Amino acid sequence: MVLIIVASILFLDQVTKFLVVKNLSLHQSLPVIKGVLHLSLVYNRGVAFGLFKGLNTFFILAAALAVILIYLNLKNLGWRKITLAAAALSLILAGAIGNLIDRVMFGYVIDFLDLRIWPVFNIADSAITIGAVLLACSILKTRKASR
């Protein structure tokens, strides 16, 4: 189940980025729901919110280390047993790999989902964020159960 989650998110992330790059020019914006959701192609050379630009090598190394550590944690949790923690780590792993592919191939991350009230992001970013929330829930649930 873990591999299905990772492969599905990674495939969706890479296909959507490919389609957006092929169909939009840099900084072009296409409304899907006017004023709410636009497809806007931007290249993020930093991390979240475009912070710390120019540190691509550091980000590649940090992401690669994160991928290895998450993989080892998932291996310890068991590949077939899907728990909240395993699902969370699977989402984070897929997102980290998706953005790592961009950084290695292009030197930046391709972002395109534009809610107009938040910096532009992508499927990988969404997977990481959802995974982080689920991981926090899993940790809180485990702590509560151990009391």
Look at the chain and report how many structural domains it folds into.
1
Asked whether residue 27 is domain-assigned, the answer is no
* Residue 109 DSSP code: E
Asked whether residue 136 is domain-assigned, the answer is no
Asked whether residue 53 is domain-assigned, the answer is yes
Asked whether residue 47 is domain-assigned, the answer is yes
Asked whether residue 6 is domain-assigned, the answer is yes
Asked whether residue 82 is domain-assigned, the answer is yes
- Residue 36 pLDDT: 96
Catalytic residue numbers, as ranges: 111, 125
59-96 burial, b for 16+ CB within 10 Å, e for fewer? beeebeebbeebbeebeebeeeeeeebbbbbbbbbbbb
* pLDDT band at residue 136 under the 50/70/90 scheme: very high
Asked whether residue 140 is domain-assigned, the answer is no
Q: What is the pLDDT of residues 41-88, one digit of tens each?
A: 999 987 766 666 777 788 899 999 999 999 998 888 776 667 899 999
Residue 90 and residue 3: Cα distance in Å, rounded? 8
For residue 58, the enclosing domain spans 1-13+33-95+109-127
Asked whether residue 79 is domain-assigned, the answer is yes
> With pLDDT > 90 as the criterion, what percentage of the chain qualifies?
71
Average of per-residue pLDDT values in the chain: 91
- What one-letter code names the amino acid at 62? A
- E strand or H helix at 44, and its extent? strand 37-44
Residue 87 and residue 64: Cα distance in Å, rounded? 20
Work out whether strand 109-114 and strand 29-33 pair parallel, antiparallel, or are unpaired.
unpaired
